[in-house]
Amino acid sequence: MDGRMNRTAVVMHGPFHVGVEREALRPPEPGEVLVHAHRSAISAGTELLFYRGRVPQDLPLDAGLASLAGPAAYPLRYGYAAVGHVIRTGPDVPGHFLGRRVFCFHPHASHFPIKTTELVPIPDNINDHDALFFANMETAVTLIWDGRPALGETVVILGQGIVGLLATALLARHPLGGLITIDPIPRRRKASLDMGAQSALDLAEIDDLKPRLASHSPGAMADLVFELSGDPSALNTAIELAGFGSRITIGSWYGTSSAAANLGGRFHRSRMRMNASQVSTLPPEFATRWDRRRRGETAWETIRLTRPSRLITHEMPVEQAAHAYDLLDRRPEEALQVVFTYKD
């Protein structure tokens, strides 16, 4: 193995234009290892924004990750859920890294050099398929922290993509008064019930839901609403369902789309609170006692408990990347989690 080694990588050349290319691969430098990816998972919500060209190009891909520090401009490489093992070490890296199974926040590629400080070792009792969900499980954990569900509360989740389903699985383990999810896609609603939701409703059933919410406590509506749909219009649905003094936690990223929130009417007197949840930082209230390492350990433990690999609906060779994104874009009702595989 030398500096002339090549890799296979997914490259977005523009909206709706995905290529799979062979690229020269440099050897690992001091402080780095070379990882051979077994699989990588598409994060459909974020990656479809890039695929559709709906991301502000003056932002970095992710300022918190070295592998995604570049601008959000085409051609670009994206992705942040790769599982593989270390096949080579840099000049000063201890040999015990060789063969280690790792999760990496790295764009879709068969091989990549990465700093040892960016490796996330996979626990022995977690398989590769479950490990693919580490990044999204960290997001779900952070959502629960930001939402702060309380004993006996009625919680509504808008959106049952992968992050929404993982949040449902975690909330199902809380002693809530009710856990209701809303999504327009039947396959997602079925998965939501499997993950522990008490009710999984279509958007058309929202008007029927309101009297059910109010019956828990007159006029109360939902105590806590998570907006995880990625649809800017859902913010107004969250406001409709949230009760007096309630909370709305927004985990969606709308990209270049604007959310025309209706802050007139009942919102003005409702004393409801909205907060943004984002995984790249810890909630300020947790920062004195928690760090990323401890949150990561919690994410692994919740993966052990929930076994999210059951949400994988498609595994396909990375060479079929264009088909994978087209599937998620045009036929989202057919897929939950789509995974790329890489040759040895």
Is there a domain that residue 231 lies in? Answer: yes
* CA gap 235, 233 in Å, rounded: 5
CATH of the domain at 201: 3.40.50.720
Whether residue 205 is found in the same domain as residue 235: yes
* Cβ neighbours for 198, distance < 8 A, ≥ 6 positions apart: 178, 179, 180
Of the candidates 164, 234, 171, the residue with the CA atom closest to the CA atom of residue 198: 171
Whether residue 191 is found in the same domain as residue 257: yes
Is there a domain that residue 299 lies in? Answer: no
Q: What is the pLDDT of residue 272?
A: 85
Encoded tokens for 98: 């060789």
Q: Would the CA dihedral through 35, 37, 43, 47 be positive or negative?
A: positive
Q: What is the pLDDT of residue 71?
A: 77
Q: What is the pLDDT of residue 201?
A: 96
| Arithmetic mean of pLDDT, 128-153 | 97
89 is in which domain, residue-wise? 6-122+309-341
Is there a domain that residue 130 lies in? Answer: no
| Arithmetic mean of pLDDT, 149-167 | 97
Q: Looking at 257, 276, 295, which one is the last position of a domain?
A: 276
Query: DSSP string of 144-156?
Result: HHHH---TT-EEE
* CA gap 323, 42 in Å, rounded: 12
Q: What is the pLDDT of residue 64?
A: 64
pTM for the predicted model, two decimal places: 0.93
Whether residue 58 is found in the same domain as residue 107: yes
Read off the DSSP letter of residue 309. G
CATH of the domain at 47: 3.90.180.10
Encoded tokens for 70: 């570049």
Whether residue 106 is found in the same domain as residue 173: no
When pLDDT is cut at 50, 70 and 90, the band that residue 208 belongs to is: confident
Whether residue 108 is found in the same domain as residue 151: no
Q: Looking at 234, 252, 276, which one is the last position of a domain?
A: 276
| Arithmetic mean of pLDDT, 245-268 | 82
Lowest mean pLDDT among 49-63, 70-84, 162-176, 288-302: 49-63
Total domains, the chain: 2
Whether residue 237 is found in the same domain as residue 319: no
Whether residue 177 has pLDDT greater than 70 = yes
Is there a domain that residue 268 lies in? Answer: yes
Query: Please, what is the average pLDDT of the chain?
Result: 91
User: Strands 154-158 and 222-227: what pairing?
Assistant: parallel
Encoded tokens for 292: 């990323």
Query: Which amino acid would we find at residue 197?
Result: A
Query: Helix, strand or coil for residue 50?
Result: helix
Is there a domain that residue 75 lies in? Answer: yes
Whether residue 49 is found in the same domain as residue 10: yes
How confident is the model over 259-292, as pLDDT tens digits?
A: 777 787 778 778 889 899 989 889 999 989 999 9
When pLDDT is cut at 50, 70 and 90, the band that residue 1 belongs to is: very low
Whether residue 58 has pLDDT greater than 80 = no
Of the candidates 178, 184, 220, the residue with the CA atom closest to the CA atom of residue 199: 178
